[in-house]
Amino acid sequence: MLWKALLIGAVSVIMYIVADRYIWMDLHRHYYKHHPGKCEVVKNAGLSSENFHVTDEGLAFITSGCGFITNSEGYINHMKRNNVYKGRILLFNFNKQELGALSLVITPSATFDPATFRPHGISVLEDSIKGEHLVYVVNHPYPARDVVEKFKYNPKTQELVHLNSITDEILRTTNDLGMIAEDQFFISNFLYSFNQAGATLETIFELPWGGMLFYNGSGFSEVVPGIAGPNGVVVSKDNRYVYVAMCIQKKIHVYRREEDNSLTLVQSIPTHTIPDNLHLSQDGGTLYAGCHPIVHKLFEHAEDPQKSPKAPAQVLSFPLKDGLISPEGATELFYDHGDLISGSTQGAVYKNTLLVGSLVDTLVVCDMPKDV
């Protein structure tokens, strides 16, 4: 009788896991195409626009050519075949959209090798007077350890001058960062594993091996340990809250920043889709999320973008009230089956234009209704 009970229990657990993963992979889901207005591919952008930061003056600094140690061979070959497996920072001016995306000149330093630049997350400290913004970028120069690269943007020459490289053994496979002040930021330790098999296990089984780190100008500390796959990071305008896209859990976490820069979880909002990167509106009142609504299609496409079907793209917006998300006001701004853009990683609205980026595909702009 005991063995029979154990067998029934084991089968029940297996069935629960299978059913749970079936639902998580979105094998049962279907969406309808929805564009907010006229959409078109941004001129000169090429493929790969993983993450961007839009300034108050309407400049989007965009990372292109992201790659990290857990990427599949199919992904790497796709990027090399399309001549985008090299790091670039693009600049898109919302006020001069006819120019398309421009590739910024990068002036290296002794600690920075452009040949190993694989940019991922990005955050900008804005200089509203001179326009000489400080641009911080997550870099995966594998087999070396991840690095945060610090640049100063020269608006006269449209040049990024490298200032410093920040790294530490505590950095695993990092993803995105959010600035508090110069050389002070929160950064997501996305995955612990340094190989594709380990990364797959972490993702599929939601293993809590990731965490949130804080850099205080001289060293890193882990402020949120033991969470699964923290991804995009955004800090509120008043630096009181930190928003983190928990892609594996299909949630957005809102943390309150304490005086000692520790983080206290105050809100966890289900998104029912994978939130990738986040962006805060210029007035600080809306949070935008680039999302992956059908997980199994994303995985298939990321494994080999050249041979697999396209992955859907989605952008959601969440109104904020006193720094917290108002989930009842969540809106789908954009959905595409992958025909226009595949696998959206980022979305942001500036005035009446929506910008949508992708890790492996093109960069897209859409007209937005004036009342949105």
Radius of gyration of the chain (CA): 20
**Which residues lie below 8 Å from residue 99, measured CB to CB, with a gap of 6+?**
43, 93
Count Cβ atoms below 10 Å from residue 194 Cβ, excluding itself. 15
CA distance 136 to 195: 26
Residue 142 lies in a domain: yes
Residue 72 lies in a domain: yes
CA distance 183 to 48: 27
Q: CA nearest 173: which of 206, 139, 149, 207? A: 139
Stated as kind and residue range, the H or E segment containing 61 is: strand 59-64
CA distance 118 to 85: 8
What pLDDT shows up at residue 1? 59
CA distance 181 to 351: 26
CA separation, residue 68 to residues 85, 139, 204, 278, 349 (Å): 11, 9, 19, 20, 28
What pLDDT shows up at residue 85? 76
CA distance 197 to 193: 8
Question: Letter for the amino acid at 171?
Answer: L
Question: Letter for the amino acid at 164?
Answer: N
Pairing of strands 105-107, 173-181: unpaired
CA separation, residue 173 to residues 143, 214, 257 (Å): 11, 15, 23
> Sign of the CA dihedral 188, 171, 121, 31?
negative
- Half-sphere exposure in the Cβ direction for 129 (13 Å, CA): 0
Residue 31 lies in a domain: no
What pLDDT shows up at residue 86? 84
**Which residues lie below 8 Å from residue 11, measured CB to CB, with a gap of 6+?**
none
Structural domain of 144: 43-167
CA distance 193 to 219: 22
What pLDDT shows up at residue 99? 96
The domain total for the chain is 1
Residue 131 lies in a domain: yes
Q: CA nearest 59: which of 147, 138, 160, 139? A: 160
Report the alpha-carbon angle 229-320-357, nearest 5: 50
Residue 361 lies in a domain: no
- Residue pair 282/298 in contact (Cβ under 8 Å)? The answer is no
Residue 335 lies in a domain: no
Residues of the chain with pLDDT under 50: 6, 9-10, 12-19
Residue 313 lies in a domain: no
CATH code of residue 115 = 2.120.10.30
Residue 53 lies in a domain: yes
